[in-house]
Structure 1
Amino acid sequence: MASSPEALIARFALQPHPEGGWYRELHRSACQVQRSEDGRQRAGLTVIVFLLTEGQRSRWHRVAGGDEVWHHAGGDPLDLWRLPPQGGTAERLVLGPLAGEAIGDPEPSPLQVVPAGWWQAARSRGRWSLLHCCVGPGFAFEDFQLLADLLPSERPAGADPALL
């Protein structure tokens, strides 16, 4: 595996993502499904490779109509926050290897799920974190919303403003 962010960006031909970090779509299922809540057609599944480097963040965002599964693929552990659509208390999860975390941290896991419509944000705990993100039904940018695009009065309580 490449050992620097620059090498990973080159190896996977990554592009800047609107939420922050770097990405490239790896798979878009040819199988189409109809979403139950609005009847729209979507690919059954999409998968991206996603890289966050030191100092970058995946800004608060949500994906309508599709659960997102984050898989730690390499590098340093990652903090992932998720917040219910209506707001409340943001939950901090840790993605990464199953050993070596500080006492008092949430138990690290190589996989975490963000339910459809929930707000999410992330930040690497080190030099870089490489992930695979799977969305089903598949991701479409028309289903993507950045929290920063909402008026401050419309933003749910509980979202750390440092991750906007």
Structure 2
Amino acid sequence: MRTTAAYWREKLQLTQHVEGGSFRETYRAPLQIPQHSLPANFAGDRAASTGIYFLLEEGDFSAFHRIAADEMWHFYDGITLHIYEIRPDGRLLVHRLGRDVEQGEQLQLVIPAGSWFASSVEETGGFALVGCTVAPGFDFADFELADRKALSAAFPQHAGLIALLTRG
């Protein structure tokens, strides 16, 4: 059976994500980590871990953003997802999440806390269905969507890419 983005959106009951694409939270650990046990950049207690499905189609993108925790990505279906990571030191890494390990794609990868990252599907008509696991668990209080002008000023060497993968 050949799957489509529409199939996954319906079967997994995905909704629009603020950064782009579609998602649904699938797991939130009942174990809570108290704020006093977390680094100072967490403003409250957090679940030990969270998980989501995330679907991205060609023609859309996940805009540059960063979170306070590490995020592990898992490939499920579709074609290669390009994940652009700007480390705090300004180094740009381009990750290829997909199943063609012979061509350097990865089935899993981790984006470290504090890195700016964005993603896109770069094949006409393609989509990528992936999963993301965050530990300590994701909370929108820990989410920062990039401002194009501010991120370009911080990393002028990547201003062209930032212009393509931000929403304002």
TM-score range, shorter chain: 0.7 to 0.9
Query: Which residue of 1 is the match for residue 108 of structure 2?
Result: 111
Query: Which residue of 1 is the match for residue 61 of structure 2?
Result: 57
Distance 1:152 1:122, change over 3 A: closer
Query: Which residue of 1 is the match for residue 133 of structure 2?
Result: 134
Return 148-157 or 128-137, whichever deviates more.
148-157
Query: Which residue of 2 is the match for residue 163 of structure 1?
Result: 165
Query: Which residue of 2 is the match for residue 9 of structure 1?
Result: 9
Q: Indicate the structure with greater helix content.
A: 2
Residue 46, structure 1, aligned to residue 50, structure 2:
yes
Query: Which residue of 2 is the match for residue 75 of structure 1?
Result: 78
Distance 1:93 1:11, change over 3 A: same
Assess if the C-alpha contact under 8 Å between 1:85 and 1:156 holds in 2: no
Instruction: Kindly provide the amino acid, as one letter, of the partner of residue 122 in structure 2.
Output: R
Query: Which residue of 1 is the match for residue 142 of structure 2?
Result: 143
Query: Which residue of 1 is the match for residue 27 of structure 2?
Result: 27
Percent identity among equivalent residues?
33
Of 121, 125, 146, the match for 2:122 = 125
Deviations along 1:57-104, one digit per CA (max 9) or x if unpaired, are 11000002x100011111101111111135x13110101013464xxx
Instruction: Kindly provide the amino acid, as one letter, of the partner of residue 85 in structure 1.
Output: P
Instruction: Kindly provide the amino acid, as one letter, of the partner of residue 99 in structure 2.
Output: P
CA RMSD, aligned part only? 2.0
Deviation of residue 151 (structure 1)? Answer: 3.8
Return 153-162 or 129-138, whichever deviates more.
153-162
Assess if the C-alpha contact under 8 Å between 1:147 and 1:155 holds in 2: no
Query: Which residue of 2 is the match for residue 18 of structure 1?
Result: 18
**TM-score scaled by length of structure 1:** 0.87
Distance 1:153 1:83 in 2: 11
Deviation of residue 154 (structure 1)? Answer: 5.4
Distance 1:32 1:53, change over 3 A: same
Distance 1:141 1:49 in 2: 16
Distance 1:152 1:29, change over 3 A: closer
